Structure 1
Amino acid sequence: MGEHRMQTASPYPVIAERSLRPVPRKLLRGARRDRAELPEQPPGTVLVFHTKGGYQAFAERRHLTGSEEAVVQAVAVSVVDVRGRYVLVGVPIPSSDLAHDFPVQVTFRCTVKDAARVVEEGLRDLHMLLGAYLREDLELQKMGLEWGIEGIHRLRPLVVARVKAFFEVVPPQVEGVEVALSSVDVLLPADVKDHARGMKGMRWEEEANDLRAAIESKDVARIEAFLHRGNAGRLALGISRNAVPIADAVTMLGAVEEQQAARIFEVIRALPEGALDFLPIDTRALFQEAMRVAGVNSSATSEAPPIEQRGAGKHSEPRPLGLEESDD
């Protein structure tokens, strides 16, 4: 009797009823009812017989022989589930949104204490009886009218407190059955839940797109920084992306430096004779850099005097060429 089960769609607590035919009396033999006339008795149930004297339950753990006085005299028999059950009752209460109600779900723990009284009261659907009990609370029916469906999270604790208080003050009166309050909840309507899930999915997708865009922008900025480093940076980027083999990158970089050295020499050759004596530059450093770029060992020229001193005479400062306006 301590075990509780969730109520199914079957009736509860009276799960079956059957009328019985009269049992004929025989001379010299006691009357006996054919046991095949009695309904099936599942585990956790008792048989209650309706006789002229009222209702009698056979709760003893024994098989009926059919010769028991109540069995012989009975005009009807009922099967009563006496195991504890959790009965789930749903009661909608109106909201301020005409399109939705708040589904209030209440679970009761029910245990049959007097099977004969249950049959006498005809309790075939305790679910309906407890639903009617909850609808008697008019204040509960009004609680949702000030709230839209979006306010369900704020309404839920108020409804829970109201149902518990109503149960304490006005407990349900069910003859032969002990009823206890187990839990109270306010559910989110299915269509509202589906809508919320869809909106959450859209927000998640937007966040994922923003994150992908941020990563892409960061990658673009990094590539741009590599490209601004010149040829060496571009080749390094190609190597990191496995787009350029290292050997090819070395060859390409050498060719680029040779082209740069050639352009430096072309610029120097294009200068007027003696122009280097008047340019405000360190010509030795210029030639050494040109040699380095060209791949020529500059140590052979390290003993030569600085070019800016050749033919400079007594002038310690570069002399103007009169070409200041045409440097471009």
Structure 2
Amino acid sequence: MIALITSFKAAGQNFQSRLSNVSLYHKGQALAAIRTKLSSGLVDEAVMLSTVFLMIIDNVFAEYEAYRAHLDGLRRMAKAIPTTVEMHYAGVLRTFVSWAESNALLLFEESVASQSATTGLCVFDHPARPSSKTVAKMSAALPPGFRFISNQLSTQLLSVLGKTVKWTSCIDQRLVDQSDTDEAFLAGFDPRSNNAEAMRLASSKAILERSISKALFLCHANILNWSCRCAVYKSTVLDLAETLRSDMLEKAGYEELSIWLVLVTANAARRGRLERVQSELLQKLVASRDCQWGSIREVLSKFLLHSKLEKEWKQCWEMAKVTEDLRR
């Protein structure tokens, strides 16, 4: 914990600094303690959480090889620990381990996907495909933009989308009154676990599914103010930006979805200090559409819209619009 706290403190608010000597010292101490415990043959929740905390540091400072090595160790621990222990502390351990595995799928994709299938570590156990009636009910709960393309999405993604839409509406400050149903949903909902599922789906070979999953990861991160300095965050922004530059989705007929994806990605790039990516995406969008924010907002509302993100997206759009007007 000391290594984790001092690492974030060393990085500073904008995460420009590197690990300090104090952070490195405590990270080394933590590694030594983990090795000692494992050498004694003891695997418990403390040693697993310690490993996850080290992986958070690896993620923040883009220490890819260290992350991969710690992931391998975590997988071995998961095979040795009883399943009941994973669910201690209201399932927090399992949630963190899910996060670690899912991060790896975004960072390393195919090179870890095949391994995860054999270890059983946080591979999500999906039930058999639900009935068409259940799928129709899941689709009906989505905003119109996602509902329109729901027959092209997996049931897993429909589930993640449904939960994310429900969660964002429940926590949106514009909607002050919460029903008993909303409160019950929030009490049992873990955004980290839901986000981990979106990250797992982001390794899909289908470009539509992959793009939406990565956008959901960025929405989770921005709404909850997660670190924008993490390696996974930056690589996700860059990957999604590359897809949008190619116009593959727009050419395939997903024009409105592309607008939503551009605003999600451009704002995420702004938060991650990837100004060039932000500028490229927005300039292209503004140049292709001679319209005001109201028209863009109408499109965004067909997908996923949260008041906090809407405010940031509007600022991004208006700044790009001013820049474009000055060029003319």
Q: Is this a same-fold pair by TM over 0.5?
A: no
Q: Taking structure 1 as the reference length, what is the TM-score of the superposition? A: 0.20
Q: Which has the higher helix share?
A: 2
The TM-score, its normalising length taken from structure 2, stands at 0.20
Specify which structure has the higher proportion of strand: 1
